[in-house]
Chains A and B, each alone.
Chain A
Amino acid sequence: MSEAVIHDDHHDHKPSGIGRWLFSTNHKDIGTMYLVFALIMFFVGGAMSMVIRAELFQPGIQYVDPQFYNSMVTVHALVMIFGALMPAGVGLANWMVPLMIGAPDMALPRMNNMSFWILPFAFTLLLSTFFMQGGAPAGGWTMYPPLVLQLGDGFPYLVFAVHFLGISSIMGAINIIATVFNMRAPGMTFMRLPLFVWAWIITAFLLIAAMPVLAGGVTMLLTDKYFGTAFFDAAGGGDPVMFQHIFWFFGHPEVYILVLPSFGVISQIIPTFSRKPLFGYTSMVYATASIAFLSFFVWAHHMFTVGMPLTGELFFMYATMSIAVPTGVKIFNWMATMWRGSMTFETPMLFAIGVLFMFSIGGFSGLMMGITPVDFQYHDTYFIVAHFHYVIVPGIIFGIIGGIYFWLPKWTGNMYDEKLGKLHFWISTISVNVLFFPMHFIGLAGMPRRIPDYSVQFADWNSIISIGGFVFGASQLILVWVVIKCVRGGEKATDQVWEGAHGLEWTLPSPPPFHTFTTPPKVTDATAHS
């Protein structure tokens, strides 16, 4: 038997042609497909944000009808969240989790194939609504009734797209849990797991808990529109605010579904380039778990202005503020990891440090908005737009991009172009701040969100914001260029790739053979991640 295993590893034979991808059950190929899909969707959603920023460049309506503008706002969010961020996180997990825990593949390889191939169909449904009577969804990605029920023929397509995306995510989550629980190499105990794997286990449980709630909510919308129910219609004894409670019970954990994988990535990058073990591994695990747990008790801070009883407002304010504690612990642990290390600043490290600084800015504005009486002013203004884009773009996306630079040499066997990587980082960092920082100002000064036109006192800042947006959008093409260049060739990467890298994935050749760890490695304290 062991002969056959070695035989497999040596010859590294891959299925050929399109069938290799269509019928793939290989975690590496599926991981690649997830990442490529996410990158494509990143540019689709990005193109929509360019339409938004072009329209907002000057006051007055220059390019698109307000209804189409609302569709841009809505579909930009849906595409970015469900098409770019989540698949990118799953793609990284597919590639890295089996390599990090010493497993030959994911536990459920056929389901892995299915959970990926659902995505293109789901997005075909969603994006086809642009060509339907009544246009694409235009009521915001939060799909609040009664507004969302005014959507024309595209409405059921929106609901079914969300159902499919939910099914795909849940299958992906089950797969990751099954893999980590059952397929760890001997000696790879839970408290020896790399932090990226821990972040993904917790994310997977969040997905399983939260996605069905969203699916239930949108199903109720569907029956309200077509089958005469009145879950969200006061005239029939329902309550439109109930949808908001259901949505945000999904929506707040969703925030952590997006951010935790990125936290996992930078927890790998920072120790590597500081040449020092991760500080406070145990407290990192517990902090991540408590953030996830608390995320189920803070949903109503997204909807303070619906008019809740005083006690409700106080509860959600205190619960929201308490999340700052475990989040602070994580930030301080990363700082302590860097402290007295021996740091070098290759592109992945630059992006990870970018996350530390700019995610913190998003965290500060988040804390401000957790204070209910002040949130009554901040709510639904550009201040919240600034807040969540700081969390998502230089927080989550920078983390994912850092991960791509970090593991690209391992995946392709070639080093990427370091100069281009650094250029990508610096242009992105400068432009992302030009893009999002002034949004704090215009939001505080009173500019509501989701509007295609604004009163003239906001004109100057909006021009600057749009310029930042165009530069940021264009600079992401550098990433594509770097990836293509790296896939096609370059300086050969060593097995370890980075001087300070530790862990099973760095013991494999670069690129790893098609099938890895067909014989499980033996993990000891010395060979485990820090």
Chain B
Amino acid sequence: MFFNKLKQIIFGITAFSLLIISEAALADYMNVLNLTEGVTPTSKMVYGLHMQILYIVTAIGVVVFSVMCWSIYHHRKSKGAVAEQFHHSTTAEITWTIIPIIILVVMAIPATKALVFMEQTGDAEMTIKVTGYQWKWKYDYLDDDISFFSSMSKDSNDARQLGSGIDPKTIENYLLDVDNRVVLPINTKIRILTTAADVIHDWWVPALGWKRDAIPGFINDNWTYIEEPGVYRGKCAELCGRDHAFMPIVVEAVPKAEYAVWVEEQKTMQLAAAEGAEREWTKDELLEKGKDVYAANCTACHMAEGQGVEGLFPALSGSAIVNNTDASEMIMLILNGKNMMPAFKDILNDADIAAAMTHERNSWGNTVKDVIQPSDVKAMR
């Protein structure tokens, strides 16, 4: 009777599982099973090694588990098995010490080769520096003097808020899309330096075949050589605080000629942005820009309506600092950070900070309603 019940339970669970599987099409499950083969010599080597070791341990598993099952089936008291009393066999013990050692050596040889290959960071044709921030990435193209931040795209950010009511399945590339992509040339040996500004992050694009920690105060040295054009997505892999899940990476690999065009575009854009910080802005201009800057840099903690998070992040709505007619304390706080608040002096330019402040001081019932100019911020640096 007991076993009948058990059978019913097992049957129920199996039927329920099948129901879920059939409903969501088996293909969805089959696509999410294994490591990616990737698009670099490293990733292909790693994939090959992974499969080789997987086959070896699976084979060991099949042999060991078969022997155990055979023994469990045949050496049962209920089948009349009588226990022997042996408790020692030097031959057997030496055998099952030596054979694993041989298997391990067989695994260690290709692993050593792969590791030596991966650590050759010399002869790079170009270098980019990746800096992790809570919670976005900064990319510096050291050879071309290009520098920009890359944050998660707005539609993903809206949908991922607690109780947003937006179905993530309706968002294209949910949690995997950014505002500014890292554009890289194909068939080029690229040196990628990782570091961080606040806490430890980890820059990981599975298709490149490795991940590496980004550590504040230290620089890690890596390289990649992308063989196929395409868009490759990744994520931060080291717990870095509240929004660790929300700092994706998007690498766009393009042919060399296309890359050269992109570099020129970036240089022109950066020049225009630098000029913007010098001139006088109108209130409408600042409010419009400020909304975007706030959404990309501030909402994670201070939330969309400036309400903050009780006990963790202070509200900006009604805040004494925000409503102070003397803006200097607020400017200093934004520039230099405090506790969990990061220092924004290297993250945002004067126009960005002025715009965000103007937005904050004119929203959510805040009373100052004044205009902060980029020159005000510049004066406090």
Could you tell me which A residues sit within 8 Å of B by CB distance?
Answer: 59-67, 70, 133-135, 138-140, 144, 146-147, 150, 152, 233-235, 239-241, 274-281, 283, 305-307, 310, 313-314, 317-318, 321-322, 324-325, 328-329, 331-332, 335-336, 338-345, 353, 356-357, 360-361, 364-365, 367-368, 371-374, 376-377, 379-381, 419, 422-423, 426-427, 430, 434, 441-442, 444-446, 448-461, 463-464, 467, 471, 500, 530
Residues A276 and B100 in contact, CB atoms below 8 Å apart: no
Contact residues of A: prevailing secondary structure: helix
Residues A274 and B83 in contact, CB atoms below 8 Å apart: yes
Known: A240-B216, A344-B77. A455 touches B173 (CB 8 A): yes
Segment of B163-171, B259-267, B362-370 in the binding face = B163-171
**Given the complex of chains A and B, what is the CA–CA distance between A301 and B97 in angstroms?**
23
Residues A275 and B200 in contact, CB atoms below 8 Å apart: no
Residues B96 and A305 in contact, CB atoms below 8 Å apart: no
Known: A66-B243, A134-B311, A146-B216. A325 touches B211 (CB 8 A): no
Residues B237 and A146 in contact, CB atoms below 8 Å apart: no
**Given the complex of chains A and B, what is the CA–CA distance between A451 and B244 in angstroms?**
7
Residues B32 and A343 in contact, CB atoms below 8 Å apart: no
Q: Does B330 contact A (CB under 8 A)?
A: no
Interface residues of B in 44-90 (CB under 8 A from A): 45-46, 49-50, 53-54, 57-58, 60-61, 64-65, 67-68, 71-72, 75-78, 81-89
Residues A307 and B221 in contact, CB atoms below 8 Å apart: yes
Choose one: B28, B64, B76, B213; the contact of A335 (CB below 8 Å): B64
Residues in chain B near residue A239, CB distance under 8 A: 217-218
Tell me the smallest distance from the CB of B316 to a CB of chain A, in Å: 18
Residues in chain B near residue A313, CB distance under 8 A: 115, 119
Contact residues of B: prevailing secondary structure: mixed
Residues B239 and A70 in contact, CB atoms below 8 Å apart: yes
Residues B100 and A328 in contact, CB atoms below 8 Å apart: yes
Could you tell me which B residues sit within 8 Å of A by CB distance?
Answer: 2, 5-6, 9-10, 13, 16-17, 20, 24, 28-29, 31-36, 45-46, 49-50, 53-54, 57-58, 60-61, 64-65, 67-68, 71-72, 75-78, 81-89, 92-93, 96-97, 100-101, 104, 107-108, 111-112, 114-116, 118-119, 159-164, 166-169, 173-176, 198-200, 202, 204, 206, 209-213, 215-218, 220-221, 234-246, 309, 311-312, 339-340
Residues A70 and B111 in contact, CB atoms below 8 Å apart: no
Known: A61-B162, A456-B168, A458-B32. A329 touches B81 (CB 8 A): no
Known: A340-B84, A456-B168. A381 touches B237 (CB 8 A): yes
Tell me the smallest distance from the CB of A39 to a CB of chain B, in Å: 24
Tell me the smallest distance from the CB of B334 to a CB of chain A, in Å: 18
Known: A317-B111, A336-B92, A371-B111. A277 touches B87 (CB 8 A): yes
Tell me the smallest distance from the CB of B70 to a CB of chain A, in Å: 9
**Given the complex of chains A and B, what is the CA–CA distance between A340 and B49 in angstroms?**
38
Residues A317 and B108 in contact, CB atoms below 8 Å apart: yes
Tell me the smallest distance from the CB of B298 to a CB of chain A, in Å: 16
10 more A-B contacts (CB under 8 A) besides A144-B239, A376-B212?
A60-B164, A61-B161, A138-B241, A321-B108, A373-B45, A377-B46, A419-B2, A426-B10, A445-B31, A457-B31
Known: A66-B242, A150-B340, A441-B32. A133 touches B200 (CB 8 A): no
**Given the complex of chains A and B, what is the CA–CA distance between A313 and B31 in angstroms?**
32
**Given the complex of chains A and B, what is the CA–CA distance between A340 and B58 in angstroms?**
26
**Given the complex of chains A and B, what is the CA–CA distance between A14 and B64 in angstroms?**
49
Known: A240-B215, A317-B115. A423 touches B33 (CB 8 A): no
- Most central of B32, B111, B162, B243 by chain A CB within 10 Å: B32
Known: A60-B168, A360-B64. A342 touches B81 (CB 8 A): yes
Residues B111 and A460 in contact, CB atoms below 8 Å apart: no
Residues A235 and B235 in contact, CB atoms below 8 Å apart: no
Tell me the smallest distance from the CB of A397 to a CB of chain B, in Å: 20
Tell me the smallest distance from the CB of B365 to a CB of chain A, in Å: 23
Residues in chain A near residue B211, CB distance under 8 A: 305, 376-377, 379-380
Residues in chain B near residue A66, CB distance under 8 A: 242-246
Residues in chain B near residue A331, CB distance under 8 A: 64
**Given the complex of chains A and B, what is the CA–CA distance between A240 and B202 in angstroms?**
14
Residues A343 and B77 in contact, CB atoms below 8 Å apart: yes
Residues B244 and A377 in contact, CB atoms below 8 Å apart: no
Choose one: B13, B115, B164, B216; the contact of A314 (CB below 8 Å): B115
**Given the complex of chains A and B, what is the CA–CA distance between A305 and B212 in angstroms?**
5
Nearest 4 A-B pairs (CB), nearest first?
A234-B217, A451-B245, A307-B220, A342-B83
Tell me the smallest distance from the CB of B186 to a CB of chain A, in Å: 21
Choose one: A70, A235, A276, A457; the contact of B32 (CB below 8 Å): A457
Residues B32 and A59 in contact, CB atoms below 8 Å apart: no
Tell me the smallest distance from the CB of A245 to a CB of chain B, in Å: 13
Tell me the smallest distance from the CB of A472 to a CB of chain B, in Å: 12
Residues in chain A near residue B198, CB distance under 8 A: 146
Residues in chain A near residue B160, CB distance under 8 A: 60-61, 453
Choose one: B29, B115, B216; the contact of A310 (CB below 8 Å): B115
Residues A360 and B61 in contact, CB atoms below 8 Å apart: yes
- Most central of B58, B169, B234, B242 by chain A CB within 10 Å: B242
**Given the complex of chains A and B, what is the CA–CA distance between A65 and B241 in angstroms?**
12
Tell me the smallest distance from the CB of B367 to a CB of chain A, in Å: 27
**Given the complex of chains A and B, what is the CA–CA distance between A468 and B308 in angstroms?**
36
Residues in chain A near residue B10, CB distance under 8 A: 426, 430
Residues B92 and A374 in contact, CB atoms below 8 Å apart: no
**Given the complex of chains A and B, what is the CA–CA distance between A313 and B210 in angstroms?**
14
Residues B216 and A307 in contact, CB atoms below 8 Å apart: no
**Given the complex of chains A and B, what is the CA–CA distance between A318 and B115 in angstroms?**
12
Residues in chain B near residue A283, CB distance under 8 A: 93
Residues in chain B near residue A419, CB distance under 8 A: 2
Residues B245 and A454 in contact, CB atoms below 8 Å apart: yes
Residues A367 and B53 in contact, CB atoms below 8 Å apart: yes
Tell me the smallest distance from the CB of B208 to a CB of chain A, in Å: 10
